[in-house]
Structure 1
Amino acid sequence: MPDSNTTDFTNPSTFILLGIPGLEAAHVWIAIPFCAMYAIALLGNFTILFIIKRELSLHGPMYYFLCMLAVIDLVVCTSTVPKMLRIFWFNSREINFSACLTQLFFIHSFSGMESGILVAMAFDRYVAICDPLRHSTILTNHVVAKIGLTVVLRSSIISLPYPFLVRQWPYCRTNVIPEPFCVHIAVVKLACADTRVSSYYGLFALFCVLGLDAIFIVISYIQILRAIFRLPTRDARHKTFGTCSSHLCAILIFYIPGLFSSLTYRFGQNVPQHFHVLIGNVYLLVPPMLNPIIYGVRTSQIWKSLF
């Protein structure tokens, strides 16, 4: 492959994805757990979709949101892992400029959708615990569909400027991306222009999606905890809180690496590059793999239906 580190261009036809810089010698071995995680994510999420579709007793708001989460997880990991494995196993590092922008849009938009669905699931838990008698009248199928559509439109609209911002910059230094996939901030760093507009918009989008969603989830759980602590017995409190445990685990495995990855990209100049990349991989691969396991094990209705 030709060395493109010092080429002079303004509109590159391709980018070069390095994979995990500094760990090139171990790419073949690193790909094995990544491939296993991808296979588990595919099997788990398709199983969740199949069980909920087949079991009429699971046709309710919580499980509809879980189906949306499974579809989003499938898209997120499928848009990144196959190309990542080709880099690790076959040294296929080139990616077309348009394909890079498409992957960038899918990663950011569907990650935002996952955050939105977690908020919707928090709202479902809030209504189920704080106002259980009105749960079926508040969260009707029509309302669930409108929430899902709102989540999709919000994330798509906020993520749509990313590829247009990336396309407008000149790239005259390098087309080498020290990542196994295309993300907005990694591509913008290659531009030889004042890219503060892209950086500011990225922070704005981060706050509008992950920031606001995290605030709404915290508010929901404050109300949920207040309702739980008002229950008369310890067993009732424990049982009620147990209905939220799956959702809390999904929140933690999504938001902690997501916020950490976004902030270290912008402010962690002293953090090793391979650590940036590994955290990004955790953010994109671990939630799709663990979400169906968490909900399958912790949700008795799904567990019984599986057997």
Structure 2
Amino acid sequence: MTSPSNDSTALVSDFLLICFPNYQAWQHWLSLPLSLLFLLAMGANATLLLTIWMEASLHQPMYYLLSLLSMLDMVLCLTVIPKVLAIFWFDLRSISFSACFLQMFIMNSFLTMESCTFMVMAYDRYVAICHPLRYPSIITDRFVAKASVFILVRNALITAPIPILTARLHYCGRNVIENCICTNMSVSRLSCDNFTLNRMYQFVAGWTLLGSDFILIFLSYAFILRAVLRLKAEGAAMKALSTCGSHFILILFFSTVLLVVVLTNVARKRVPFDILILLNVLHHLIPPALNPIVYGFRTKELKQGCQKLLQRGL
């Protein structure tokens, strides 16, 4: 399927997504673990959101931030995974021009929104541990509302030019995307224009947003670690380290996977391209599956709220 025009993107009506071009035969087997992870991610996040909504005692700033993280995770999953499974199960490879760039926008903006949410949550833990007496006056409902608006607006505005620049490129007949999802580079390589500006903007915007978030996260946990080591109450230091340590490991996993995706994209001639595709898919699936478990259901209040919810259901 090709576009009949050599000089206009307006006539490009759709693209074809080719997942794992070198391993088409085992796509059906891969769909099974992806389906299970997808169900786990959606079920865990939906349960967390419902628990927080139904339990009045959980209507607190920290749990509002958890709700925001869960909503971002669910949108990311729904944007990517159903289409991947449709390709695996029903060979529905076609995606419209507009849907492709909408998917690109959501992936870019929501991934950076998630990173920014991690940063705000790290600040929340910093205030709770380093300035516990001031916590109720600093981390308020109004603070969460302002932080949520900042997270949404900052990342949406800065990442919006990426799909816009890609959509303005001219596509000269090639419309087969060797990927499961509409990533910027996978689509841009199909154009007959120079996409250096596109690539440079994504690089600068991505590292500016994610880099600033990760620096602030690292500083927050460095101050938390320093404060925790000074705690003299028996068991207090270990409890704080256990909670914050699991959070930091999850953030590190999120950033490491993202870094691997970036590096393999740069060195794509040295790394099997199918590995890059798999990493892209898993990065939109594994963190959403782990976030509600590590951040949410390890806390006593959420466990109790979830048990009450299940008892009501029974």
Same fold (TM over 0.5): yes
> Aligned partners of 1:213, 1:173: CA distance in 2, in Å?
40
Deviation at 1:10, TM superposition (A): 3.6
SS in structure 2 opposite 1:298? coil
Q: Distance in 2 between matches of 1:253 and 1:300?
A: 24
Q: How many positions carry a matched residue from both structures? A: 305
1-structure distance, mates of 2:240, 2:276: 38
Aligned to 2:31: 31
For residues 265 and 158 of structure 2, the distance between their equivalents in structure 1, rounded to whole angstroms, comes to 19
**Runs of 4+ deviating beyond 3 Å:** 4-10
- Give the SS at the match of 1:79: helix
- 2:164 is equivalent to residue 184 of structure 1: no
Q: Distance in 2 between matches of 1:137 and 1:265?
A: 45
Q: What RMSD in Å do the two structures reach over aligned CA positions?
A: 1.7
Q: Equivalent residues in 2 for 1:283-294 (5 A)?
A: 283-294=283-294
Superposed counterparts of 1:42-57, under 5 Å: 42-57=42-57
Whole-angstrom CA distance in 2 between matches of 1:262 and 1:6? 33
Q: What is the TM-score of this pair, normalised by structure 1?
A: 0.94
| 1:95 matched residue in structure 2 | 95
Moved more, 293-302 or 202-211: 293-302
Deviation at 1:194, TM superposition (A): 1.6
Aligned to 2:312: none
Question: What is the CA distance between 1:191 and its match in structure 2?
Answer: 1.7
How far residue 8 of structure 1 moved from its aligned partner, in angstroms, is: 4.6
Deviation of 1:130 (Å): 0.5
1:5–1:176 contact (8 Å) kept in structure 2? no
CA contact (8 A) 1:246 1:294 kept: yes
Matches within 5 A, 1:1-307: 2=1, 4=2, 8=6, 10-11=8-9, 12-172=12-172, 174-233=174-233, 235-307=235-307
Check whether the contact 1:253–1:286 (CA below 8 A) recurs between aligned residues. no
CA distance in 1, matches of 2:3, 2:277: 20
**Offset of residue 7 of structure 1:** 8.2
Cα distance between partner residues in 2 of 1:266 and 1:111 = 19
**Would the alpha carbon gap of residues 229 and 291 (structure 1) be closer, same or farther in structure 2, given more than 3 Å must change?**
same
Q: Distance in 1 between matches of 2:174 and 2:250?
A: 38
CA 1:246–1:58: 2 relative to 1, 3 Å: farther
CA distance in 1, matches of 2:135, 2:306: 26
Secondary structure, counterpart of 2:151 in structure 1? helix
Pair 176,5 (structure 1): closer, same or farther in 2 beyond 3 Å: farther
The whole-number CA distance in structure 1 between the counterparts of 2:142 and 2:31 is 43
In 2, distance between residues paired with 1:46 and 1:297? 12
Retained in 2: the 8 A contact 1:173–1:192? Answer: no
Deviation, 1:296, is: 4.0
Shift of 1:184: 1.2
What's the CA shift for 1:252? 2.5
Shift of 1:270: 1.0
- 1:236-263 deviations in Å (ceiling 9; x for gaps): 2111222313422331232111121123
| 1:262-293 C-alpha deviation (Å, 9 max, x unpaired) | 23213343111100011111110101111122
> Which deviations, in whole Å up to 9, do the C-alpha atoms of 1:9-28 show, x marking residues without a partner?
64221111001221211111
| Cα distance change, pair 177–6 in 1 and its aligned pair in 2 (3 A) | farther
Gap runs ≥5 in structure 1: none
CA contact (8 A) 1:121 1:247 kept: no
Moved more, 68-77 or 156-165: 156-165
Would you say the 8 A contact 1:109–1:155 is kept in 2? Answer: yes
Comparing 165-174 and 44-53, the one that deviates more: 165-174
8 Å CA contact retained: 2:3, 2:172? no
Give the distance between the partners of 1:268 and 1:219, measured in 2 at CA.
33
Q: Which runs of 5+ in 2 are unaligned?
A: 308-314
Q: Residue 208 of structure 1: SS of its match in structure 2?
A: helix
Structure 1 CA distance, aligned partners of 2:278 and 2:261? Answer: 9
User: What is the identity, as a one-letter code, of the residue corresponding to 2:77?
Assistant: C
Q: Distance in 1 between matches of 2:237 and 2:3?
A: 60
Change (3 A) 1:35 1:6: farther
- TM-score, with structure 2 as normaliser: 0.92
Distance 2:4 2:233 in 1: 69
Q: Which amino acid in 1 is paired with 2:97?
A: F
